[in-house]
Protein backbone atom coordinates (compact mmCIF):
# COMPACT_ATOMS: atom_id res chain seq x y z
CA UNK A 1 0.00 0.00 0.00
CA UNK A 2 2.54 2.55 1.14
CA UNK A 3 6.29 2.33 1.64
CA UNK A 4 8.34 3.26 4.64
CA UNK A 5 11.70 4.86 3.76
CA UNK A 6 14.66 4.84 6.11
CA UNK A 7 16.85 7.88 5.61
CA UNK A 8 19.78 6.24 7.43
CA UNK A 9 20.30 3.73 4.64
CA UNK A 10 21.59 3.84 1.07
CA UNK A 11 21.45 1.54 -1.93
CA UNK A 12 24.80 0.25 -3.22
CA UNK A 13 25.69 -1.83 -6.26
CA UNK A 14 27.78 -4.98 -5.65
CA UNK A 15 28.38 -7.75 -8.15
CA UNK A 16 25.46 -6.51 -10.22
CA UNK A 17 23.08 -6.73 -7.24
CA UNK A 18 21.48 -3.84 -5.41
CA UNK A 19 22.08 -3.94 -1.67
CA UNK A 20 20.48 -1.93 1.08
CA UNK A 21 23.34 -0.61 3.24
CA UNK A 22 22.53 0.53 6.78
CA UNK A 23 24.75 3.10 8.42
CA UNK A 24 26.44 2.31 11.76
CA UNK A 25 23.87 4.09 13.92
CA UNK A 26 20.95 2.13 12.54
CA UNK A 27 22.93 -1.13 12.74
CA UNK A 28 23.56 -0.43 16.43
CA UNK A 29 19.90 0.34 17.09
CA UNK A 30 18.75 -2.75 15.17
CA UNK A 31 21.09 -4.94 17.22
CA UNK A 32 19.55 -3.45 20.37
CA UNK A 33 16.08 -4.04 18.95
CA UNK A 34 16.89 -7.65 18.13
CA UNK A 35 17.71 -8.21 21.77
CA UNK A 36 14.45 -6.58 22.77
CA UNK A 37 12.64 -8.70 20.18
CA UNK A 38 14.19 -11.80 21.70
CA UNK A 39 12.97 -10.77 25.14
CA UNK A 40 9.40 -10.13 24.01
CA UNK A 41 9.33 -13.43 22.12
CA UNK A 42 10.64 -15.31 25.15
CA UNK A 43 8.12 -13.68 27.46
CA UNK A 44 5.02 -13.70 25.27
CA UNK A 45 5.71 -15.94 22.28
CA UNK A 46 5.04 -12.92 20.03
CA UNK A 47 7.41 -10.61 18.22
CA UNK A 48 5.45 -7.47 19.07
CA UNK A 49 3.35 -5.53 21.53
CA UNK A 50 -0.13 -4.36 20.60
CA UNK A 51 -2.51 -1.75 21.96
CA UNK A 52 -4.74 -4.55 23.15
CA UNK A 53 -1.87 -5.96 25.25
CA UNK A 54 -0.94 -2.53 26.64
CA UNK A 55 -4.52 -1.68 27.57
CA UNK A 56 -5.05 -5.13 29.14
CA UNK A 57 -1.98 -4.52 31.31
CA UNK A 58 -3.20 -1.06 32.29
CA UNK A 59 -6.63 -2.42 33.32
CA UNK A 60 -5.30 -5.45 35.19
CA UNK A 61 -1.63 -6.59 35.13
CA UNK A 62 -2.61 -10.05 36.43
CA UNK A 63 -5.05 -10.58 33.57
CA UNK A 64 -2.23 -9.55 31.23
CA UNK A 65 -0.01 -12.19 32.78
CA UNK A 66 -2.61 -14.97 32.51
CA UNK A 67 -3.34 -14.14 28.89
CA UNK A 68 -0.03 -12.99 27.35
CA UNK A 69 2.69 -14.54 29.56
CA UNK A 70 1.10 -17.79 30.80
CA UNK A 71 -1.04 -18.00 27.62
CA UNK A 72 -3.81 -19.71 29.55
CA UNK A 73 -7.14 -20.19 27.77
CA UNK A 74 -9.96 -18.18 29.29
CA UNK A 75 -12.50 -20.10 31.38
CA UNK A 76 -15.30 -18.63 29.25
CA UNK A 77 -15.62 -16.22 26.37
CA UNK A 78 -17.65 -13.10 26.84
CA UNK A 79 -20.57 -12.92 24.38
CA UNK A 80 -19.80 -9.21 24.10
CA UNK A 81 -16.37 -9.98 22.68
CA UNK A 82 -17.76 -12.36 20.07
CA UNK A 83 -20.50 -9.89 19.23
CA UNK A 84 -18.02 -7.02 18.72
CA UNK A 85 -15.78 -9.21 16.63
CA UNK A 86 -18.73 -10.41 14.47
CA UNK A 87 -19.87 -6.81 13.85
CA UNK A 88 -16.27 -5.91 12.92
CA UNK A 89 -16.12 -8.80 10.45
CA UNK A 90 -19.41 -7.74 8.82
CA UNK A 91 -18.12 -4.17 8.42
CA UNK A 92 -14.79 -5.41 7.12
CA UNK A 93 -16.62 -7.45 4.46
CA UNK A 94 -18.67 -4.40 3.51
CA UNK A 95 -15.59 -2.26 2.81
CA UNK A 96 -13.73 -5.14 1.14
CA UNK A 97 -16.60 -5.52 -1.33
CA UNK A 98 -16.71 -1.76 -1.87
CA UNK A 99 -12.99 -1.72 -2.59
CA UNK A 100 -12.99 -4.80 -4.81
CA UNK A 101 -16.08 -4.10 -6.93
CA UNK A 102 -17.51 -0.73 -5.88
CA UNK A 103 -20.60 -2.65 -4.72
CA UNK A 104 -22.38 -2.14 -1.40
CA UNK A 105 -23.11 -5.33 0.50
CA UNK A 106 -26.74 -5.80 1.51
CA UNK A 107 -27.84 -6.15 5.10
CA UNK A 108 -28.52 -9.85 4.50
CA UNK A 109 -24.98 -10.39 3.19
CA UNK A 110 -23.52 -8.57 6.20
CA UNK A 111 -25.70 -10.63 8.56
CA UNK A 112 -24.46 -13.82 6.99
CA UNK A 113 -20.88 -12.74 7.82
CA UNK A 114 -22.07 -12.06 11.37
CA UNK A 115 -23.66 -15.55 11.55
CA UNK A 116 -20.50 -17.19 10.18
CA UNK A 117 -18.50 -15.72 13.02
CA UNK A 118 -20.88 -17.20 15.59
CA UNK A 119 -20.96 -20.58 13.84
CA UNK A 120 -17.30 -21.14 14.82
CA UNK A 121 -17.98 -20.56 18.51
CA UNK A 122 -18.44 -23.31 21.12
CA UNK A 123 -21.63 -22.01 22.71
CA UNK A 124 -21.15 -23.82 26.01
CA UNK A 125 -18.00 -21.71 26.50
CA UNK A 126 -19.86 -18.43 26.03
CA UNK A 127 -21.02 -16.27 28.92
CA UNK A 128 -23.95 -14.04 27.95
CA UNK A 129 -24.81 -10.81 29.73
CA UNK A 130 -28.01 -10.50 31.76
CA UNK A 131 -31.07 -10.78 29.50
CA UNK A 132 -28.96 -11.63 26.42
CA UNK A 133 -28.82 -14.76 24.30
CA UNK A 134 -27.87 -15.48 20.71
CA UNK A 135 -31.29 -14.35 19.42
CA UNK A 136 -31.36 -11.00 21.22
CA UNK A 137 -27.79 -10.29 20.09
CA UNK A 138 -28.62 -11.19 16.50
CA UNK A 139 -31.58 -8.78 16.54
CA UNK A 140 -29.30 -6.09 17.93
CA UNK A 141 -26.66 -6.79 15.25
CA UNK A 142 -29.29 -6.40 12.55
CA UNK A 143 -30.38 -3.01 13.90
CA UNK A 144 -26.78 -1.83 14.23
CA UNK A 145 -25.79 -2.91 10.72
CA UNK A 146 -28.97 -1.36 9.33
CA UNK A 147 -27.91 1.91 10.96
CA UNK A 148 -24.40 1.47 9.55
CA UNK A 149 -25.78 1.18 6.01
CA UNK A 150 -27.78 4.39 6.46
CA UNK A 151 -24.85 6.33 7.91
CA UNK A 152 -22.35 8.43 5.92
CA UNK A 153 -19.50 6.28 7.28
CA UNK A 154 -20.65 3.58 4.82
CA UNK A 155 -20.11 6.08 1.95
CA UNK A 156 -16.47 7.04 2.43
CA UNK A 157 -15.30 10.05 0.42
CA UNK A 158 -11.91 9.28 -1.16
CA UNK A 159 -9.99 6.13 -1.96
CA UNK A 160 -9.97 3.19 0.39
CA UNK A 161 -6.30 2.42 0.97
CA UNK A 162 -6.61 -0.33 3.52
CA UNK A 163 -9.05 -2.48 5.47
CA UNK A 164 -7.80 -4.31 8.55
CA UNK A 165 -4.33 -3.24 7.47
CA UNK A 166 -1.50 -4.59 9.64
CA UNK A 167 1.51 -2.42 10.38
CA UNK A 168 4.36 -3.71 12.52
CA UNK A 169 7.32 -1.49 13.24
CA UNK A 170 9.55 -0.13 15.93
CA UNK A 171 8.40 3.09 17.61
CA UNK A 172 10.63 3.41 20.63
CA UNK A 173 14.20 2.52 21.44
CA UNK A 174 14.46 -0.40 23.87
CA UNK A 175 10.85 -1.43 23.21
CA UNK A 176 9.59 -4.28 21.05
CA UNK A 177 8.04 -3.55 17.69
CA UNK A 178 4.42 -2.58 17.72
CA UNK A 179 1.66 -4.27 15.73
CA UNK A 180 -1.41 -2.27 14.79
CA UNK A 181 -4.38 -3.42 12.74
CA UNK A 182 -6.09 -0.41 11.21
CA UNK A 183 -9.80 -0.97 10.56
CA UNK A 184 -10.17 1.50 7.68
CA UNK A 185 -7.78 3.87 5.89
CA UNK A 186 -9.21 6.36 3.41
CA UNK A 187 -7.14 8.80 1.36
CA UNK A 188 -8.34 12.13 -0.01
CA UNK A 189 -6.32 14.75 -1.90
CA UNK A 190 -5.16 16.42 1.27
CA UNK A 191 -5.17 13.81 4.04
CA UNK A 192 -5.36 10.21 5.16
CA UNK A 193 -8.08 9.25 7.63
CA UNK A 194 -7.80 6.27 9.95
CA UNK A 195 -11.10 5.06 11.38
CA UNK A 196 -11.37 2.62 14.26
CA UNK A 197 -14.80 1.06 14.82
CA UNK A 198 -16.04 0.52 18.36
CA UNK A 199 -19.20 -0.99 19.76
CA UNK A 200 -20.36 0.54 23.03
CA UNK A 201 -23.28 0.25 25.43
CA UNK A 202 -24.02 3.97 25.14
CA UNK A 203 -22.68 7.05 23.32
CA UNK A 204 -19.14 7.91 24.31
CA UNK A 205 -18.57 10.90 26.56
CA UNK A 206 -15.51 13.12 26.06
CA UNK A 207 -13.94 11.18 28.91
CA UNK A 208 -14.51 7.89 27.05
CA UNK A 209 -12.90 9.34 23.92
CA UNK A 210 -9.92 10.62 25.89
CA UNK A 211 -9.49 7.28 27.64
CA UNK A 212 -9.40 5.39 24.32
CA UNK A 213 -7.42 7.93 22.31
CA UNK A 214 -3.99 6.46 23.10
CA UNK A 215 -4.71 3.73 20.58
CA UNK A 216 -5.25 6.24 17.77
CA UNK A 217 -2.26 8.38 18.80
CA UNK A 218 -0.17 5.26 18.45
CA UNK A 219 -1.68 4.47 15.05
CA UNK A 220 -0.86 8.04 14.03
CA UNK A 221 2.81 7.46 14.80
CA UNK A 222 2.84 4.20 12.84
CA UNK A 223 0.97 5.62 9.85
CA UNK A 224 2.75 8.95 9.51
CA UNK A 225 6.01 7.19 8.66
CA UNK A 226 4.30 5.94 5.50
CA UNK A 227 2.80 9.08 4.05
CA UNK A 228 3.58 12.76 3.51
CA UNK A 229 -0.06 13.72 4.03
CA UNK A 230 -1.55 14.71 7.38
CA UNK A 231 -3.07 11.74 9.20
CA UNK A 232 -6.57 12.28 10.62
CA UNK A 233 -7.89 9.99 13.35
CA UNK A 234 -11.42 9.09 14.31
CA UNK A 235 -13.49 6.54 16.19
CA UNK A 236 -16.81 5.41 14.73
CA UNK A 237 -18.73 4.48 17.87
CA UNK A 238 -21.76 2.24 17.31
CA UNK A 239 -24.13 1.99 20.26
CA UNK A 240 -25.74 -1.28 21.29
CA UNK A 241 -28.96 0.49 22.22
CA UNK A 242 -32.57 -0.20 21.28
CA UNK A 243 -32.21 2.36 18.51
CA UNK A 244 -28.55 2.10 17.59
CA UNK A 245 -26.59 5.22 16.87
CA UNK A 246 -23.22 5.94 15.23
CA UNK A 247 -21.11 8.92 16.22
CA UNK A 248 -17.84 9.95 14.65
CA UNK A 249 -15.40 11.11 17.29
CA UNK A 250 -12.37 12.85 15.88
CA UNK A 251 -9.19 12.72 17.91
CA UNK A 252 -6.49 15.33 17.40
CA UNK A 253 -2.99 14.42 18.52
CA UNK A 254 -0.52 16.94 19.94
CA UNK A 255 3.18 16.58 20.69
CA UNK A 256 2.28 16.19 24.38
CA UNK A 257 -0.37 13.50 23.90
CA UNK A 258 1.90 11.54 21.56
CA UNK A 259 4.74 11.78 24.02
CA UNK A 260 2.45 10.65 26.84
CA UNK A 261 1.35 7.52 25.00
CA UNK A 262 4.99 6.73 24.16
CA UNK A 263 5.88 7.05 27.85
CA UNK A 264 2.97 4.79 28.80
CA UNK A 265 4.13 2.10 26.39
CA UNK A 266 7.68 2.38 27.66
CA UNK A 267 6.56 2.13 31.30
CA UNK A 268 4.28 -0.84 30.62
CA UNK A 269 7.08 -2.65 28.81
CA UNK A 270 9.45 -2.02 31.74
CA UNK A 271 6.83 -3.41 34.15
CA UNK A 272 6.23 -6.50 32.00
CA UNK A 273 9.95 -7.27 32.07
CA UNK A 274 10.14 -6.98 35.85
CA UNK A 275 7.35 -9.57 36.17
CA UNK A 276 5.43 -7.42 38.63
CA UNK A 277 1.85 -8.60 38.02
CA UNK A 278 -1.01 -7.96 40.42
CA UNK A 279 -4.82 -7.97 40.27
CA UNK A 280 -6.95 -4.85 39.99
CA UNK A 281 -10.36 -6.21 40.96
CA UNK A 282 -13.34 -4.04 40.17
CA UNK A 283 -16.81 -4.62 38.77
CA UNK A 284 -15.97 -3.32 35.31
CA UNK A 285 -12.78 -5.39 34.86
CA UNK A 286 -13.89 -8.60 36.52
CA UNK A 287 -17.45 -8.98 35.20
CA UNK A 288 -16.19 -9.90 31.73
CA UNK A 289 -12.84 -11.45 32.73
CA UNK A 290 -12.38 -15.06 31.65
CA UNK A 291 -9.85 -15.71 34.44
CA UNK A 292 -12.06 -15.11 37.50
CA UNK A 293 -11.60 -18.63 38.91
CA UNK A 294 -7.85 -18.65 38.21
CA UNK A 295 -7.58 -15.19 39.74
CA UNK A 296 -9.35 -16.15 42.97
CA UNK A 297 -6.96 -19.13 43.33
CA UNK A 298 -3.86 -17.12 42.52
CA UNK A 299 -1.46 -17.37 45.51
CA UNK A 300 0.03 -13.93 45.05
CA UNK A 301 3.30 -14.73 43.28
S1 LIG B 1 -10.86 -11.35 37.78
FE2 LIG B 1 -10.50 -9.13 37.83
S3 LIG B 1 -8.68 -8.88 39.11
FE4 LIG B 1 -8.77 -11.02 38.50
S5 LIG B 1 -7.48 -11.17 36.68
FE6 LIG B 1 -9.59 -10.82 35.99
S7 LIG B 1 -9.77 -8.59 35.77
FE8 LIG B 1 -7.95 -9.00 37.02
Architecture, CATH, for domain 77-263: Alpha-Beta Complex (3.90)
Q: Which of 55, 56, 57, 286 to mutate to test the pocket of ligand 1 (most atoms within 8 A of CB)?
A: 286
Parallel, antiparallel or unpaired: strands 17-22 and 9-14: antiparallel
Q: Whose CA is nearest to atom 2 of ligand 1?
A: 286
Q: Whose CA is nearest to atom 3 of ligand 1?
A: 281
- The structural domains of the chain, with segments of one domain joined by +, span 77-263
- Closest by CA to 100, choosing from 160, 151, 43, is 160
- Closest by CA to 62, choosing from 275, 205, 288, is 275
Express the helix, strand and coil content of the chain in percent, nearest 5 each: 50, 20, 30
Would you state the pLDDT for residue 284? 85
pLDDT tens per residue, range 36-88: 989 999 999 999 999 999 999 999 999 999 999 999 999 999 999 999 999 99
Q: Whose CA is nearest to atom 5 of ligand 1?
A: 63
| 128 Cα: distance to centroid of ligand 1 (angstroms) | 18
**Residues of the chain falling short of pLDDT 70:** 1-34
Task: Determine whether the shortest distance from the Cβ of 262 to ligand 1 is under 6 A.
Answer: no
User: Rounded to whole angstroms, how far apart are CA atoms 177 and 196?
Assistant: 21
Would you state the pLDDT for residue 25? 46
Would you state the pLDDT for residue 12? 41
Task: Determine whether the shortest distance from the Cβ of 64 to ligand 1 is under 6 A.
Answer: no
How many residues in total does the chain contain?
301
- pLDDT above 70 covers a percentage of the chain that reads 89
User: Rounded to whole angstroms, how far apart are CA atoms 48 and 180?
Assistant: 10
Would you state the pLDDT for residue 20? 36
| 57 Cα: distance to centroid of ligand 1 (angstroms) | 11
Task: Determine whether the shortest distance from the Cβ of 280 to ligand 1 is under 6 A.
Answer: yes
Amino acid sequence: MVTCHDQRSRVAEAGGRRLLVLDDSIMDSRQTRETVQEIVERLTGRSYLSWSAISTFMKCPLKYRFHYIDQEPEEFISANLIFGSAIHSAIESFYSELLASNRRLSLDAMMSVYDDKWSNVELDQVEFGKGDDQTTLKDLAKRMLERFLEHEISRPVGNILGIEESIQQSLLDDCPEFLAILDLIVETEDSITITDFKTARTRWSNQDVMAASGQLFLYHELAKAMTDKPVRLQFAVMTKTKTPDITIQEVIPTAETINRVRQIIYSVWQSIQTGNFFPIPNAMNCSTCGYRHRCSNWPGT
